[in-house]
Amino acid sequence: MKAVLILEDKTRFAGESYGGDGIAIGEVVFNTGMTGYQEILTDPSYCGQIVAMTYPLIGNYGINKDDFESHKSFVRGFITRERCEKPSNFRSAGTLGEYLAKQGIPGLYGIDTRKLTKILREKGTMKGVIVPEGFSDEAAARMAAGFTLCNPVDEVTLSRPVEHVPETGACGLHAAVLDYGVKRNIVRSLLKRGIKVTVFPADTSADELLGGKFDGVMLSNGPGDPKDCRVEIENIRKMAGRIPIFAICLGHQLAALAMGGDTGKLRYGHRGCNHPVKDVARDRTYITSQNHGYTVLADSLGAGTACITHVNMNDMTVEGIRYMGIPMFSVQFHPEASPGPGDTAYLFDEFTEMMNDYKLKEKQDA
């Protein structure tokens, strides 16, 4: 069936629909990954967005049962230049189209994704809508322009705490993870290091976490404008300095806001598996997986409050922060990858070491 993408500026892309039926409306973004579409589809950070893949052929290895990053897909729509209807992979349990249909997510293929990406790079991220052919372009553009997404963290977070216990090699540490849209591989990365994990809803109070005898707190990735998360920011402010904290992506932005910093929206965001980031202390550049539309503003951080530890080598935006005098650090990229390279997984080891050091200090002070 014929379908079209209409951007809020009335730019029109005609293609073919697949996957779920109906209309998709959201913020149109692009991802430069050649692979990893299953993890992208199930990353809660894409809540409220229509994702366009820049690599032309998507779906060639199908969908499998192991690579989901959450229990469902939160994207509003999915766009590809070509789709593969006959995947070839020993793990494949279905096609991309079948998964989109099951999730009720409209897909669009056959459009010029290169042209779409160039428009988004030149004009900035725009809102858009996928509609059946014959739908009024004027009405579609108005729908797109009127789209708003307010605090999508509420949509993706858990409703109650969930505990995870490492199968082997328990190290005696217990970390709390605040679920702003947590990816499963963040939890897996902690469990792999023998850390017991309890995942909490995003608005869990600081008092509950501080009183739970946890050794550290992780602030997860998630969708939306960090400034919408006022309750979460206040809770982080109350915890800062009282327990080791490691923050990723949205959590990184929320931590900066809690410590007096500021954030701003990027022109078209960073979404892909090949973003170069320099670790300043190690004087080494790593290739990272990223998915974010906002950034911490470097000049908003007080010199005595924080130091920048990682920098994006494409646009020099802030990619990592360590806070002075307290056990808290954060990164904008995804050290757990999924999809992407695992070069920066050492940050989970640093968090483990920080928790152990803080635990030892507490014993010595007691």
Residue 335: asked if its preceding bond is cis (omega within 30°), the reply is no
Q: How far is it, in rounded angstroms, from Cα 53 to Cα 113?
A: 7
* 37 touches 64 (CB < 8 A): no
pTM for the model: 0.96
In 106-122, which positions are buried (b, 16+ CB within 10 angstroms) versus exposed (e)? bbbbbbebeebbebbee
Residues contacting 49, CB < 8 A, separation 6+: 26, 27, 28, 29, 75, 76, 223
| C-alpha pair distances (Å), 14 with each of 58, 124, 130, 271 | 18, 21, 10, 24
- Domain layout of the chain by residue ranges: 2-145, 153-365
Per-residue pLDDT tens digits for 63-81 = 999 999 999 999 999 999 9
Q: What is the dihedral of CA 223, 224, 227, 232, to 10 degrees?
A: -30
Query: Which fold, 153-365?
Result: Rossmann fold (3.40.50)
Amino acid at 322: R
**Length of the chain, in residues:** 366
Which residues are designated catalytic? Answer: 249, 334, 336
The whole-number pLDDT of residue 363 equals: 80
The whole-number pLDDT of residue 154 equals: 96
The whole-number pLDDT of residue 291 equals: 96
Distance of CA 178 to the CA centre of its chain: 14
The whole-number pLDDT of residue 341 equals: 86
**Residues of the chain where predicted confidence (pLDDT) is lower than 50:** none
Please give the backbone phi and psi of residue 192, each rounded to the nearest 5 degrees, phi first: -60, -30
List the CATH code of the domain at 2-145.
Answer: 3.50.30.20
Per-residue pLDDT tens digits for 126-150 = 999 999 999 999 999 999 999 998 8
